[in-house]
Structure 1
Amino acid sequence: MSDSNTLTNDLLEGHVIECRICYQTLDANSFCSGQVINPCNCQGMYAFAHKTCLEARLQRTARVMCDICRFAYIMTRKPKPLHSWLMSFACKDYFIEIMIQTFNILIVLIVCHLILTDSRAKLPKLLLSSLMVFQLIHLFLLIIFWIQFVLKSRHDMNEWKISNFFVSVQQNPDYRLDKRYLRPRSPVRASGAFESTSHQKSN
């Protein structure tokens, strides 16, 4: 952005300067507080933007450059905290399913373990062997379920990181404002006066 005093003078000289995102008319306080930046090389009505407005749009669209002048924004991305992913991940159907399966298998393993370790239970060797095999199979299934769960959750987290992050856009340090492209504060009134003058001359 050019010098803040220059921008303030531009406003006082009667130019209309708006945010390119929300179209709100900007004032000197916005520039002095750093709320407004020149993120690219655009001039005129596309030159200025609220920092928060532009960051919200880039976070939503995942763009990295200006659609008009193709300038690559100077920005940093910071991933959202892990608990945000956990909150969304806990609502997934496969997360609930793996919890139910894990609970059922643990119940089976506990019951089998109690039967096998009960010295008072006089069971045939064949039945004891079958229970041990049954227990091992369920233990193996539990391991398989959790391996799948870890792989799927990791993939889900990587996909989530692509579109869930905080964006911080910086000012273009090489930006030079061209006053010729700034819009006068009262173009409608000026146009009306011009038309009135032309009409009088024609008469």
Structure 2
Amino acid sequence: MKNIILASKSPRRIEMLSKYLENIIVFSPDTNERVNDLDLPETTVMKIAFEKAWKASCDFEIKGIIIAADTVVFLHKIMGKPKDYEEAFSMLKSLSGKTHSVYTGICIIDSENGTKVVDYEKTFVEFNHLTDDFIRRYLETGEHLDKAGAYGIQGFGELMVKKIDGCYNNVKGLPLTKLNTILTKHFSLKLL
């Protein structure tokens, strides 16, 4: 069996993929996750996922199937990871009571034979109305750090969510169903 390399340092992605694949190798390439506000969110996440996977295929000495992903929240504009408390507060305030989209781009490269697939998943998430006090209490948990849109649905952030339409795991950062479909179809690898 080929080596499986996860080009990510995200604890959520590592945990999610480790549930299905033993002995994954984690290698986090040094990339610049630049967002061009003129790009569509799906273009942005696929481009960044490709850059991560490509950099890992070039920089990592172990060959195998490289999996990379990137997630953003979209509501009128792309929201990545907040830079600070104020930006996180502003993001959550703008998402309050509205439906936003979560996009995750996936790139898989077989560094042995050069096979490459890039795709994305989109999920709609509707938030409850959030009071300023609730947002402050949520931010005090620190859970917003390193999360697109300043929230984690798998943690305290679930209290903000009124409804979800689409892949739950996509909102966590790795759409496992789509990933399994791509791995099965193009790489002869099944998660189960």
> Fold match, TM over 0.5?
no
Question: TM-score with structure 2 length normalisation?
Answer: 0.18
- The higher radius of gyration belongs to 1
Question: TM-score with structure 1 length normalisation?
Answer: 0.18
Greater helix fraction, Structure 1 or Structure 2: 1
Return the structure number with greater relative CO, CA threshold 8 A, min gap 6.
Answer: 1
